[in-house]
Amino acid sequence: MRHETFTKDEIALVKAKLPEVIQLFKDNVRKFSQYDKPLLLVGPQYPGIWLEHNQDNIFLADYLPEDAWSSQTVFIDFQREDGLIPFVIPYKTGEGTFFKSDACFWQIQSVYPLSQCALDIATKTNRPVQDLEPIYNAVVKYDAWLMKYRNVAKTGLVEMFCEYDTGHDNDPRVTDGGIPHSCPGNDAANMPDLPCMPIQSVDLSAMLYGSRVAMAKIAKLLGKHDEAKKWEQAAKDIQAKINELLYDPEDNFYYDLSPQGLRKYKTEHITRLFLNKVLTQERFDSIYDQYFTVPSKHFNPNYPIPAVSVNDPHFVKECPHNSWGSNSQANTALRAILWMDHYKRPGDLDALLSIWLKAFIKNNFNFAQELHPHLGTPGGGLGNYSPSLIIFIEAAKRLGFA
């Protein structure tokens, strides 16, 4: 990836803007009517706290550690009796609003595991070990729910039933074949009656792998050493199945699997294997060097990381707003902070953050949710999107402008 350069005036502008952006980020913490502690909103255009935005709270912990922790525990406080964790806690509910209940269970929509995120925040803020016990107990039930309702084919992998399961709105990978937005009856336990179902999901399975790795660590902290060994083995089991069933050696890529075979869509779901540390360094290097390092190819256009490879025939060339069929999403760029250093690509992380920071300056600090992958123009919402605010803050810090 190219590394943007900045003029003295631009650096001064970033430094002057940083306190305001930090305050905008903190202002996204609001008091919800159905909960007794403030929680982090995704942003003005998404009035609620989404499970797929879990990682946002790792960065909130630098400023408001108690609110970052509450933004984890809220999900287990609203956990369904059967073990399902809600995908969203709406900010406002009732007549005249999109959401009608205090917590919603229409789909899974989890990317960075609750167990790992909670462990990250607890470690970062030196929380007492016993605070992890409720998280641990909740995720035990959630893991069991996934294996009961999202393991129809009995492979041990997690299955995708609907478009929003993975948060890839308007992406052909999760819409082709008549796949509905949410699960039938707005219940994530229900599989649509479609020939392509069930679909063994790369990213949902990666999430469960990461969750089990974190659960093993938490179990050790809680003195549950026998359970830790079971979690470690469970993580190895799903990792092996991901490699066995979802990897295509000819393309050197991981694809979802339906009863008809591998669904060959090259989308940013591959980064969720990176995020959850599923791959060995060797396998990562092979995929990353092929798909992420060649200028203007695959996942390295002018403004990376696009939601779909720019060389994939499924790439939506019109690049409409809120499209995980094309645009470079702030969510993807933000999550790169959690995996690029791990996989020994610190220079590329610097470059990625410099590109997004330059785009914010170019676009008069419009903190929308996505960038056009070729033009760098913002799209998808009203601005002050929490992940975009975080990218600005972390870019300023990492590039030495803070």
pLDDT digits (tens, 9 = 90+) for 44-89: 888 899 999 999 999 999 999 999 999 999 999 999 999 999 999 9
Q: pLDDT under 70 in the chain at which residues?
A: none
Identify the pLDDT of residue 264.
98
Are the CB atoms for 314 and 325 separated by under 8 Å?
A: yes
Identify the pLDDT of residue 293.
98
The closest of 351, 353, 387, 358 to 370, measured between CA atoms, is 387
Identify the pLDDT of residue 265.
98
Identify the pLDDT of residue 47.
85
Instruction: Report which DSSP code applies to 248.
Output: E
d(Cα 124, Cα 112) in Å, to the nearest integer? 17
Helix, strand or coil for residue 131? helix
| DSSP-H helix ranges across 28-83 | 56-60, 65-77
Identify the pLDDT of residue 219.
98
Strand ranges across the sheet with 378-379: 328-329, 370-371, 378-379
**Pseudo-torsion of CA 265, 189, 193, 174, nearest 10°?**
-20
Sequence-distant (6+) residues with CB within 8 A of 25 are 60, 63, 386, 389, 390, 393
Are the CB atoms for 373 and 312 separated by under 8 Å?
A: no
Q: Which residues on neighbouring strands pair with residue 19, listed in sequence order?
A: none
d(Cα 265, Cα 309) in Å, to the nearest integer? 9
How many alpha carbons lie under 13 Å from residue 120 in its C-beta half-sphere?
22
d(Cα 246, Cα 39) in Å, to the nearest integer? 36
For the chain, the farthest-separated pair of C-alpha atoms sits apart, in whole angstroms, at 59
In what helix (H) or strand (E) does residue 247 lie, and over which residues does it extend? strand 247-248
In the block, residue with structure tokens 């020994």:
344
DSSP string over 157-170: SPEE-SGGGTT-TT
Centre a 10 Å sphere on the Cβ of residue 66 and count the other Cβ atoms it contains.
12
DSSP string over 312-368: STT--TT--TT-TTT-EEHHHHHHHTTTTTTTT-HHHHHHHHHHHHHHHHHTTS---
d(Cα 254, Cα 294) in Å, to the nearest integer? 19
Amino acid identity at 358: K
Label the pairing between strands 328-329 and 261-263: unpaired
